[in-house]
Amino acid sequence: MDLKEIKADQVLDTRGLTCPMPMLKTKKTLKGLSAGQILEVIGDDPGSKNDIPDFAKKNNNEFLGFYDDDGGMTHYFIKKG
């Protein structure tokens, strides 16, 4: 699946935020989604590259992957379980 073609149901912008804010916001936003919906998280904290995938695999959620864009931002895709 090409990540860039995913239409996310909600986009969470964490640009400039560092640990732990991206994680906290991801957790909170995921809570508000219903099963099957897709969350896209945008951020540039290097720590998130491990944290978000690890976290997204918990609680039946599915981690769809991430890609780096040309502006130095990383886009993560999580499907709520």
Partner 1 sequence: MASDSFWSSAREETLKSYHALFDSEWPPWLAGILIAIIALMIFLWQSPWGIAAGYVNWGDWVYHFFGASKGHPPLFPWLHPISLSNVGIIMGAFASALMARQFKIRRAPRLEYGKGIVGGILMGTGAAMAKGCNVGGFYTAVAMFSGGGFAMMFGLAAGAWVGLKYLLWEMEHLPSKPVAAKPKKARKEGEGVDWEKVQPRIGLAVAAAVIIIFYLYGIVDKTQLGGWLFFGFLIGLIMHRSRFCFVRAFRCPFMTGEADMVKAVSLSLMIYIAGSAVIKWGYLQEPTMGIYHSFFLGSLIGGFIFGIGMLLSGGCASSTLWRVGEGQTKLMFTLVSFAMADATAGRIFRATGISKWLGKDIFLPDVFSWPLTMPLITVFFLMWVLAAVWNEKTEKFVVF
* Interacting residues toward partner 1 by CB under 8 A: 13-21, 23-25, 27-28, 44, 46-47, 49-50, 54-55, 58, 70-73
Cβ closest to partner 1, residue 9 vs residue 44: 44
Q: Report the 10 Å Cβ neighbour count for 62.
A: 13
E strands, 32-73, are: 38-43, 62-68
Q: What's the closest the beta carbon of residue 79 comes to partner 1, in angstroms?
A: 18
Cβ proximity to partner 1: between 1 and 72 the closer is 72
Q: Which residues are catalytic?
A: 19
Residues 6+ apart with CB under 8 A from 25: 12, 14, 17, 41
